[in-house]
Structure 1
């Protein structure tokens, strides 16, 4: 292949990766309060941006959300989101819930 073409494609791919990483980190650090209405019919991911396990699974879940748009992320570092602890019997993060059922371990 043409060397110039490879450089252009590599630059585009790197730009997309860096842009996506920046957007993902912005979303991960989002501490907005989430309403009950937003959770209806969605896969709900309870997490904390300062949790190492959450940080390791967040990129895959975030990418899934960007492609399928069926998930809501709830940052438990937002005090107003702690209302969900009792409702969903949360004992740890990350916790993924779909149709009121805990997914995974």
Structure 2
């Protein structure tokens, strides 16, 4: 019984550490800062970026986050800016980004 408990605990730890990147976790400050710097290069308010989640699937990495745009900006303009940021993240960090746009 003791051996099976030890095996169960070891299996639980392995599963727990393996599943976090799949279901999403908070990315490192380094990645967040790199994304905010890219946003600044595009003249976006980097402080409006929030609610980050990173997902790692082997060699493929995806990140999702929210960005606030001024409420007088059209959805079309906000979408174009978010797409531009997604493309820059893909080119510079090799991470697929999905951005949720919000008005403030």
TM range (shorter): 0.3 to 0.5
Normalising by structure 1, what TM-score? 0.32
Larger RCO, structures 1/2 (Cα 8 Å, 6+ apart): 1
- Structure showing greater radius of gyration is 2
Normalising by structure 2, what TM-score? 0.32
- Structure with greater strand share of residues: 2
